[in-house]
Structure formats: structure tokens, C-alpha cells
Structure 1
Amino acid sequence: MLKIIFALLPLLSILFMIFVLKKSSILTGITACIITTVIAISPVFNTSIKILPEPITKSFLTTSIIVYILFFGILLFHLMEKAGAIDGIASSITTATNDKIYQVLILALGLSPLIEAVSGFGLAVIVIAPILIALGYSPIQSSVIALISLCIIPWGTLALGTIIGATLGDIPLQELGMGSALMSIPIYVYFAVLVAYIGAGKEALKESIFQVLFIGFLLGFSVWICNRFASVELAGIFGSLTVIVVIFLLIKLKSKGSNLTQESPISFLKNVSPYLLLILLLFTSRIIHPIKNFLSGIFNISIEKYNFQLALLYSPGFFLMLVCLFTLFLFRLNRSAIIDSIKLTINKCYPVILTTFLYIVVSEIMSEAKMIEILSSTAAQSFGQFFIFIAPLIGATGGFLTGSNTASNTMFIRLQTETAVQVGISPVLIACAQNVSSSFMTMVNPSRVALSCSVCKISTLENDIQNKLAFVGIGTLTIIFIELAIIYSLF
């Protein structure tokens, strides 16, 4: 019992500092590292201090994968923003139709997921919320819709959180991606109905219910298709672009021609061309086997002792770097714009990178000291096969508190998968439940809500928005529980 209590302390300290003391994620991570180290070398676990450099080294190597992808993903967003491409895409979308249903769907399930898939960090809120207000939506409507629009998070920043989850949980990436996509399809339908209801009202939703349900299903299905036949990293971009294209086609059919085509299709294509190039590069590198084998076979960093491997030319980070260079030349950005973009990227990257590193250190030390093994055994004995219904709550807690699927998966996915193995449940299923519940609860995270309220200039209503998002989160978790109950009853 003493070991169980002490094994829980690192996780409880994280929850206490974030939720009760409301401390920053960096301070929380540092404190958790110290507590975990002290417990690991204490007489309770009696771990030799000599082996502690190993989990720190492992954590550094894992974090390097994140840095490679994250830096160029954020940089691409800021370069496109400086070039006016983001505003150009938004303008093309918002002038395409006056139909509120199509407006809100194309922004919340199209443009926002597209931005989030490449940039992450909730940056899509900064783009989407002002557009909604400019279109006549109230600040409260705009804030809530913008937060719900962060729905592509399992595949945000080219599926970074899912990749880390697969790595730490020892789960095949494609299986985790496909399973997460299948679980997300009903949730995307739910989100489509929600944003249509909030943005256009009950009557408009009734009139367009089939289109709304179809668009929600389309996002989920296209994400699954990409996970299955192309790549997990590409799924968020592919799904969001599919939604944008299909809605434009629906608009054209309804109005016999949209403003987009009358305005400047060439300008629109130029603005989205960095995303299109990224899709092309990722698609060819994942589908065409000679190219795949060539890129994954050269310039590899491999350290067998730490089970680490990074294919520099096959990683999404390499293709993001190429697209960043393409964006520089396409929009002829000047030196000042480039320097500003790099500064903004560094400012946004370093807190998340440092936080993620600290959480991975906690996870690795807990694993080295056998704390995770003890906790998973205890959970297995306490809940048995009913642990399947506990897994989403653990994932949701991580997503809500950290606001990051990467951080949440870092903290909990190893515990989840090891417990699943002990109770005889598919570790892939539990990993999917962790990944999906964690991702969708990040939109309820207080810092995300504060960002949205700040952009919409309704900071005094932050508690009201938080409560509204809490109901959205409860609805999301209910869908996940129903899905798991169906799977449990069948198998």
C-alpha cells in the first residue's frame, strides 16, 4: 500500500499544482521531476541514482522528435500569416456564401482544423474567432464555436501527440491513428450539429440537418481514409481540405456559382499552395515505396541503447522545412518578416517543448523505478475488465489539465496500455480511448478558454464560456463511453 501511495504522488502533484495551485505547466513539470526523483531513490523504491541519467537521455531524444516537427509547423503558420495567406484563405471562405450553416461549418470543420493540423497550440482560435465576429456572430457564439473548432487535435501539428502516444505506448502508429479516427466519427457529427445550432439556430439546423450530419461524417471518414491508405501525419490536413472542397461544391450547386470562383481562384490556390505542397510531399513519401524506402534509409539517427531512431528525411519535420522554404520564395517575404516569424515561433515553441520534456522525464523515471508497473497492477486488480471505462476519464483529465494531447499522452498512455495488457483488454483500444478523450478535452482547458475569451474581448465572461465548454466535454465523453460499451458488449 505504501508503494502504491508513493507511486501516485508524482501524478497527484501534477494535478494539485495545475488544478488547485494554478501554477504554470513548466513549474509543475520541474516540481514533478524533483518529487519523482526523490521518491525513486527513496528506501520505498530504492532505485540507484546512477541509472537516472538514462531516463533523462531517453526524454531528451524523444523530445528532439517533437522539436523537429513542432518548430517548422509553427514557423509555416507565421510565415503564411506574414504573407497574408491565412487572411486570404479566410476571406475567400467567408465571401463564398451568406448561408450561416455553410459559413460556420466551413470555418469550424474546415479552416480551423486545417490551421490546427499544421500549427497546433490553439492558434486557429486567433484566426477563426475574429472572422466569426466580423460575420455578425456574437462574441459568445464566436468564442464557443472557435473552441469547438479545435477538433482535429489527435492529428494536430501533423499528429504529434498521436505519434508520441504510439511511441511511448508501444502501439503501431497506423493502428492508433485508424482507431482514433473511427472513435472520432460520431464525435465529429456531434460537433457539426453543435456549431450549426450555436451559429445558425434551431430552425436553420432543422432545415439543413442532412448537410450538417454529412459534413460531420465526412470529416471523420476522410480522416480515417487518410490514416488507412496514406499516412497518420497527413490525416488532419486531408480531412479539413476535403471538408472545405465539398462545402464549396455544395455552395456552388445551391447558388449556381460562388463568390470564390468569381473573385480569384488563382489567388485562393496561391494562398493554399503551401498546404497542397505539404500534402503532395507527405503523400508521395508514404505511398510510393521506392521514395519511402530511399528517404527512410538515409540520414538516420539511430541509438539502439535507447531504442531511438529518427529518419531525418522521412520525418514530417523535413517536409515542413521544405514547405517553409517554398513559402519564403512564393510570397517573396522580406528579411524582417522572416526574423519576426522565427521569433514568434521560438516564443510559442519553447514552453511546450520544455513542458513536454519534463513530463517525459517524469514518465521515464516512474517507469525505471517500476512505479507505472505497480500502478497498472493495482488498477488491473481494482477494476479488471471495467478499466475500459476508466481509461477515457484518465485521458480526459490529462487533456483538460495540460491543454496538450502530447503532454497528456506522455503522462498517461504507458500506464493505460500496461494496465490494458494485465486485464486482457486490447492495448490499442485503450490507447485510442486515451488519445481521443485527451485530445478533445484540451478544448475545455482553462488556458484555451482564456485565449478565446481574450480574442473575443469577453474576458469577464470566462466562467460562463468555461461552463458551456464543460457541457460540450461531457457530451464528448458520453459518446466515447457509449462506443466503449458497445465494443465491450460485443467482445
Structure 2
Amino acid sequence: MLLALLPLISIMFMIFVLKKSSIFTGIVACMLTAAIALSPIFNSNIMNLTEPIIKSFLTTSIIAYILFFGIFLFHLMDKAGAIKGIASSITKATNDKIYQILILALGLSPLIESVSGFGLAVIVIAPLLIALGFSPIQSSLIALVSLCIIPWGTLAMGTIIGATLGNVELEKMGMGSALMCIPIYIYYALVVVYIGVGLSALKKRLFTILFVGFLLGASVWLCNRFVSVELAGLFGSLAVISVLFLMIKQQNKKTSSTSKLEKESNSIKNIMPYLLLIVLLFISRIVIPLKEYLSNTWTLTIEKYNFELSILYSPGFFLFIVCIFTIFFYRLQAFEIRESSISTFKKCYPVILTTFLYVVVSEIMSEAKMIQLLSLLAAQSFGQFYVFISPLVGAIGGFLTGSNTASNTMFIRLQTETALHIGMSPILVACAQNVSSSLMTMVNPSRVALSCSVCKIRSHENEIQKKMLFVGLGTLAIILIELLLLFIFQ
């Protein structure tokens, strides 16, 4: 049993204690896992290990397809000034500090993360908060908490991979994760406002703050339920931005109609690529004949490895179309496209390589029956109470790797197989894994370091880390309460 657990222990030890990079950790973990699998205890054949590596490569190719064009779109829009334009229109819309915080933290940040992922929203949000008069420490904390849409980040890539590896239905996992997130988003709305303006100001606008948090969660759930999992983050963030702008307009009616028209025209121009992406994904998921055509045309299938990629139906294809549209719409120059490509590659390859290495570890553990052994042991040790352990496992994965995709890759198969052993719903455990893993990535040391670097407060990194740890513990407490209620009333 200890040998089966050793790959996971080694990953935690190298990241948390030795503070090694994710890539170095992944390489060592792969070699260690392979050595354990080939040992007399598990007695795997060396030829059998080629299959997990090929499976891992194929799984990672799905991730790379979406991730590359998602980050490329962000850099293209950044070169065109669209990202700054969106931010400027939001920050100039009101002088109300609470509205500014809510729009940036629960609107703009989720909008950017939904398409790009990788914590890029911090780079945009934190400087804006500082420019609006918030202290660097406040800005750093709010920017980190604003990474709340990660279950649906990069068009729900981590959730999609989790559902695939955990052998659960994507739609049910998306809806369950969204339902679990509703009270958490209310909690985050309270947290970011408290950080920004304090308790007394929060109390005066309590209903508005609670409503905005609920709106984000409810919008995400509605999109998961009736449209698609991939679009949920985009839909939720745009719903929050739209509603908050309507509330601001009710509060401020001094702007002339001409000025309003100019602002609205510029705002629409800046978000046009996102709007096109929403329309394309929406039509492809709702119009059944088109959905069937795209799903069955240019489909790469390898039955031996249970692999299928619908090239035209994948979100990566629609991101590619929107990238082409963005280049022509904003009339980007060749050097701007080249610089965007280089920046995208630099951000992509470490994520893709790290994910591949963690998938290899997971696949080798599964091939050598290590995961089955660990899940059986967990079922025997905790029984029905394992449901309360599952979010802790997910939280550890998210905290250590800083990636929901990597965490789900490492742990979700263990989680769902344990659930089957104890007669529980794999969907419930998968959702607990997905949500806790996603939301604890904001506490990851590398994310904290990024935020402190952007805000130029590296000397306060430990302070920010401790405060974010409290935010993470609050998140876990909410998830555990939700699971307790389900456990009591099931």
C-alpha cells in the first residue's frame, strides 16, 4: 500500500517541501511510478507501460488544442488594446468602490479566465485595482480571489478532463459543480468587498453583494443545465457585468446620450471576439443537425486507447476561428501576431508538459492497479465518511499543482473508484474533487507569487499566502457543510 501511495507522496514532498518546479516534479514522479510498477510487487511488464504514455499524449493533445488558442486569443486582444478597453470602460463606469470591486472580481476576471485560464486575469485585475486607489495588498488579495471561475476556466478544460478520466457524465459534473459553487460565490462576493472597503461599508450594501454572488453562481448553473458546460464561465461573467452596468445606470443618469452611445459602441467592439465565441459555441451546442455534423466530421478516433477528438466540435476549433476573426477585425500587424504567438507558446508549453507528466503518472498507476488498491483501502478505512475526505484530497491537488486539470488528472480516478467501492455516487465525489481542486488553485504559492509580483509587494508574499489560506479554509468549510447536509438528508 505504501508503495502505491509513494508517487503521490513524492509529488507533494517535492513541490511543498523541496519547492521544486512542476516539470521537475513530474519527471521524477514519472520515473518513480514506472519503477514501482515494474517492481515484483506490482509486476507490470515494461511493454505495458507504453500504452499509458500513448494515452497520456492523446489526452494532453485535447488540452493543448484548447489551451493554445485560448491564450493566443487573450494576447491578440491585448495587442489590439481590447483588454485595456474592456477594463477602462468598466473602471470608468462608476466611482462606487463596491461596484468597481464586484465588476472586476466577479465580472471581468471570470470573463478572462473563462477563455484564457492560467491565472492571466491577475495580470489585468491587480493593476486596475491599484489604479482605482486600492492598496497593493488589497489589490493582490482581491485579484487572487477573483480566480473563482476556474472549474470553467479555459472553456471548462479541467472539468472536461476530470469527467473523461473519472468516467462520469460531463453535463452532470458541470451542473453539480455549479450548484456546489453558488454559496461559495456568495462567500467570495462578501470576501472581496470586505477586503476592499471593510465591514461597515459591506453591511450597508449587503443585499446587493449577496445578490451579485448568487447571480454568478445561478448563471453558471443555468448555462450548464440548458446550454453547455464549456460556455458556463463566459455566460456567468457576462451576466454579472451586464446586471451591474444596469444597476450603475439606474444610479447615474447624468451622462449625455451621445456619450453613452460612444461608450456602448466601444464596449461592444472590445468584447466582440468574446461575443462571437459565445454565439458560435451556443449555436454548435443547441442546433442539433449542426451539432451532429460537427461531431461526426473530421473525428479522430483510436479505439485501442478509447480516444476520440471531434476536431470541428471541440472548443479549440471555435477559439481558432475567433483568433482569425480577431486578427482581421482589429487589423493586427504581422509583428503583433508573431509576438502574440511567442508569448502564447512561452505560457503554454510548461502547462502542457506538466499536465502530460501528471497524466502519465495517473495512467501508469491505473495500469499497475495502484489506484484500485488505494481506492479499496480508502473505502475500507473511511466507508461512507469518505465523502468528507474527497474535498480535502482535491484541495491538496489544487494547492500543490496550481492547476485544476493537473489535480483532476492525479486524483479524480482515485476519487470516483473509491465512491464506487463504498456504494456512493461517483458524480458527488467528482464534483467535490473538481470544485475544491479548482478553488484552491488561488492559494497555490506560484499564483500568490504572481500576484505579489504584479502588485510589487514581494516582501509581503508570506502575509498574502497566510490570508489566502484562510480564504481557502473558508471555501473548504462551505463544501464540507454542503456534503454534510447531503449526507444527513439523503
TM-score by structure 2 length?
0.99
Structure 1 residues 69-124: Cα deviation after superposition (integer angstroms, max 9, x where no partner):
00000000000000000000000000000011100000000000000011111000
User: Which residue of structure 1 aligns with residue 183 of structure 2?
Assistant: 186
| Structure 1 residue 286 corresponds to structure 2 residue 285 | yes
| Structure 1 residue 391 corresponds to structure 2 residue 390 | yes
User: Which residue of structure 2 aligns with residue 296 of structure 1?
Assistant: 295
User: Which residue of structure 2 aligns with residue 74 of structure 1?
Assistant: 71
| Structure 1 residue 267 corresponds to structure 2 residue 266 | yes
Per the TM alignment, residue 490 of structure 1 is displaced from its structure 2 partner at its CA by 1.0
Paired residues in the alignment total 488
Structure 1 residues 200-238: Cα deviation after superposition (integer angstroms, max 9, x where no partner):
222221111111000000000000000000000000000
Counterpart of 1:369, as a letter, is A
Structure-2 separation of matches of 1:173 and 1:47: 32
Structure-2 separation of matches of 1:234 and 1:357: 25
Q: 1:113 aligns with which of 71, 88, 110?
A: 110
Structure-2 separation of matches of 1:314 and 1:200: 44
Counterpart of 1:252, as a letter, is K
Over 3 Å counting, the alpha-carbon distance change for 1:390 and 1:258 in structure 2 is farther
Counterpart of 2:139, as a letter, is S
239-248 vs 203-212, which moves further: 203-212
Q: What secondary structure, in the 3-state scheme, does the structure 2 residue paired with 1:377 have?
A: helix
Structure-2 separation of matches of 1:424 and 1:488: 13
| Structure 1 residue 247 corresponds to structure 2 residue 250 | no
Structure-1 separation of matches of 2:87 and 2:335: 24
Per the TM alignment, residue 261 of structure 1 is displaced from its structure 2 partner at its CA by 2.5
> What are the residue-to-residue correspondences of 1:128-147 with 2, within 5 Å?
128-147=125-144
> What are the residue-to-residue correspondences of 1:47-196 with 2, within 5 Å?
47-196=44-193
Structure 1 residues 145-186: Cα deviation after superposition (integer angstroms, max 9, x where no partner):
000000000000000000000000001100000000000000
Q: Could you tell me whether the CA contact under 8 Å between 1:97 and 1:258 is conserved in 2?
A: no
Per the TM alignment, residue 263 of structure 1 is displaced from its structure 2 partner at its CA by 4.7
**Runs of 4+ that moved beyond 6 A:** none
User: Which residue of structure 2 aligns with residue 366 of structure 1?
Assistant: 365
| Structure 1 residue 34 corresponds to structure 2 residue 21 | no
Structure 1 residues 361-420: Cα deviation after superposition (integer angstroms, max 9, x where no partner):
000000000000000000000000000000000000000000000000000000000000
Over 3 Å counting, the alpha-carbon distance change for 1:353 and 1:258 in structure 2 is farther
Structure-1 separation of matches of 2:54 and 2:153: 26
Counterpart of 1:331, as a letter, is Y
Structure-1 separation of matches of 2:198 and 2:95: 15
> What are the residue-to-residue correspondences of 1:198-347 with 2, within 5 Å?
198-256=195-253, 261=260, 263-347=262-346
Counterpart of 1:37, as a letter, is A
Per the TM alignment, residue 199 of structure 1 is displaced from its structure 2 partner at its CA by 1.1
Per the TM alignment, residue 267 of structure 1 is displaced from its structure 2 partner at its CA by 1.0
Over 3 Å counting, the alpha-carbon distance change for 1:340 and 1:167 in structure 2 is same
Counterpart of 2:211, as a letter, is F
Structure 1 residues 278-328: Cα deviation after superposition (integer angstroms, max 9, x where no partner):
000000000110110111110000011111000000000000000000000
Structure 1 residues 457-476: Cα deviation after superposition (integer angstroms, max 9, x where no partner):
00000000000000000000
Q: Which ranges of structure 1 fall in alignment gaps of 5 or more residues?
A: none
User: Which residue of structure 2 aligns with residue 21 of structure 1?
Assistant: 18
Q: What secondary structure, in the 3-state scheme, does the structure 2 residue paired with 1:433 have?
A: helix
Structure-2 separation of matches of 1:246 and 1:200: 21
Counterpart of 1:368, as a letter, is E
Q: What secondary structure, in the 3-state scheme, does the structure 2 residue paired with 1:52 have?
A: helix
Per the TM alignment, residue 481 of structure 1 is displaced from its structure 2 partner at its CA by 0.3
Structure 1 residues 349-368: Cα deviation after superposition (integer angstroms, max 9, x where no partner):
00010000000000000000
Per the TM alignment, residue 258 of structure 1 is displaced from its structure 2 partner at its CA by 6.0
Counterpart of 2:348, as a letter, is C
TM-score by structure 1 length?
0.99
Structure 1 residues 333-361: Cα deviation after superposition (integer angstroms, max 9, x where no partner):
00000000000000000001000000000
Counterpart of 1:343, as a letter, is I
Per the TM alignment, residue 425 of structure 1 is displaced from its structure 2 partner at its CA by 1.0
Q: Which ranges of structure 2 fall in alignment gaps of 5 or more residues?
A: none
Q: What secondary structure, in the 3-state scheme, does the structure 2 residue paired with 1:302 have?
A: strand
Structure-1 separation of matches of 2:34 and 2:198: 53
Structure-1 separation of matches of 2:261 and 2:62: 44
Structure-1 separation of matches of 2:73 and 2:224: 23
Per the TM alignment, residue 257 of structure 1 is displaced from its structure 2 partner at its CA by 5.8
Structure 1 residues 106-143: Cα deviation after superposition (integer angstroms, max 9, x where no partner):
00000000000111110000000000000000000000
Structure-2 separation of matches of 1:394 and 1:355: 19
Structure-1 separation of matches of 2:169 and 2:201: 43
